[in-house]
């Protein structure tokens, strides 16, 4: 059941009339960020003076370094940093966005996991899009964000946009619903990311970029065969007890306690629960980077705890946030005249009949 705070926008989408998809060089003003953490040209400025003194900066968990790699050459053209939990999903997103933006790989080449030798995260680059896996939970996404934000600085990327494409549990919304985060709150319903630093709790506001969030909302199509909603996202440090599940290895509360808690969340405007949003929102905001979160619900937590949908159904549901984000990226590039539907170098078949003959010839030589 939608609450007052959440808005079911799937049937009453305000169409974006060529105005959405911001964040570029000419619409920097619309973005909500602190000038103190950006250079005037939009490049990411680091809030850590120690880094300016380093001879080289090793981005250990990405298997990259400012001394070993030409990071400007490799990543200088990045505009969108998309992150999601698993390496497989982010590889699949890379192939999907490649097709959607018409990015062509040179003939005989394939996408490579740039961070494969870190054995921690996976990273794929498709033109202006980076697709990176962040693993599960705040510590994992936090470490990655430190390194990717530094990567943006070393690569001199201007006005990057970070978007998390994830999964979550719905609070009153059935599986397959797309949820855009309006505000991230922690397990105590506070809109902060709190972390101990040198023995003190440091609290940072978990703010999303309002304009980017609006731009994404505007791209939900009324004809999408599922709902796209917007509301508060609760971020927990655990999947089981932390999310009020009855099916963990331990459970010291009753089913009624669980339902009372979820109902309280619902009344507070929480529409979904996941495990990275507060850190994602707070660290990007602290770095002055525009960020948004789009998730798909895997179940309605008011109705159960176990994820029971068949694999094919889950796979289709997980495409939904990707489709929305892809619409945004495609529209942005189109507006900038950078949609490359005429790529060069990839396999390009002129005559399918002759192509087949050549293939058969080659196979006969085996």
Annotated binding site for phosphate: 120, 164-167
Q: Is 293 in the site for ligand R2B (CB under 6 A)?
A: no
Rounded to a whole number of angstroms, the minimum distance from the CB of residue 330 to ligand URA is 27
- Report the C-alpha gap between 219 and 222 in whole angstroms: 9
Q: Is 176 in the site for ligand R2B (CB under 6 A)?
A: no
Q: What residues are designated binding site?
A: 120, 164-167, 243, 245
Least Cα distance to 216 among 100, 97, 331 occurs for 331
Q: Under the criterion CB under 6 A, does residue 298 sit at the interface with ligand URA?
A: yes
Minimum distance of ligand URA from residue 151's CB (angstroms): 26
Element (H, E) at 271: strand 270-274
Indicate the residue among 46 and 136 with the shorter CB distance to ligand R2B.
136
Contact positions with ligand R2B (CB under 6 A) in 235-254 = 239
CB of 362 to ligand R2B, least distance (A): 44
Among 115, 122, 133, 167, binds ligand R2B (CB under 6 A): 167
**Binder among 57, 159, 182, 274 for ligand R2B (CB under 6 A):** 274
| Contact yes or no for 226/178 (Cβ under 8 A) | yes
CB of 234 to ligand R2B, least distance (A): 11
Q: Give the nearest distance from C-beta 168 to ligand URA in angstroms.
A: 5
Span from 124-132, 140-148, 261-269, 272-280 in contact with ligand URA (CB under 6 A): 272-280
- Calculate the CA 120 to chain-centre distance: 17
Q: φ and ψ at 73, to 5 degrees?
A: -65, -40
Cβ nearer to ligand R2B, comparing 165 with 168: 168
Note the Cα 317 to chain centre separation in Å.
15
Residues 171, 298 contacting (CB under 8 angstroms): no
Alpha-helical (H) ranges within 44-101 are: 49-53, 71-75, 87-100
Rama region for 297: left / alpha / beta (φ>0; ψ in -120 to 50; rest): beta
């Amino acid at each position: 059941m939608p609450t007052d705070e959440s808005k079911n926008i799937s049937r009453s989408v305000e169409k974006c009339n060529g105005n959405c998809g911001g964040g570029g060089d000419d619409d920097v003003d619309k973005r909500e960020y602190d000038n103190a953490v950006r250079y005037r040209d939009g490049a990411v400025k680091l809030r850590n003076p120690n880094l300016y003194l380093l001879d080289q900066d090793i981005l250990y968990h990405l298997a990259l370094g400012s001394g070993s790699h030409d990071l400007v050459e490799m990543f200088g053209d990045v505009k969108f940093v998309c992150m999601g939990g698993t390496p497989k999903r982010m590889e699949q997103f890379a192939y999907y966005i490649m097709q959607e933006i018409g990015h062509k790989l040179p003939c005989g080449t394939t996408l490579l996991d740039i961070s494969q030798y870190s054995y921690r995260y996976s990273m794929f680059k498709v033109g202006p899009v980076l697709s990176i896996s962040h693993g599960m939970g705040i510590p994992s996404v936090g470490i990655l964000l430190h390194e990717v934000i530094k990567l943006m600085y070393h690569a001199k990327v201007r006005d990057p946009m970070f978007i998390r494409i994830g999964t979550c549990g719905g609070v009153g919304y059935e599986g397959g619903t797309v949820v855009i985060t309006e505000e991230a709150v922690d397990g105590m319903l506070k809109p902060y990311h709190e972390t101990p630093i040198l023995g003190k709790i440091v609290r940072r506001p978990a703010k999303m970029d309002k304009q980017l969030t609006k731009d994404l909302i505007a791209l939900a199509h009324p004809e999408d065969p599922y709902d796209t909603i917007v509301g508060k996202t609760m971020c927990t440090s655990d999947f089981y007890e932390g999310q009020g599940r009855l099916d963990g290895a331990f459970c010291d509360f009753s089913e009624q306690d669980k339902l009372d808690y979820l109902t309280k969340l619902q009344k507070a405007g929480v529409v979904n629960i996941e495990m990275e949003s507060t850190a994602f929102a707070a660290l990007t905001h602290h770095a002055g980077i525009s960020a948004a979160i789009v998730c798909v619900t895997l179940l309605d937590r008011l109705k159960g705890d176990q994820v029971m949908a068949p694999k094919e159904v889950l796979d289709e549901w997980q495409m939904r946030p990707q489709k929305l984000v892809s619409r945004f990226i495609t529209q942005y590039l189109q507006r900038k005249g950078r949609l490359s539907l005429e790529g060069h170098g990839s396999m390009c078949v002129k005559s399918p009949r002759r192509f087949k003959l050549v293939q058969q010839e080659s196979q006969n030589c085996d």
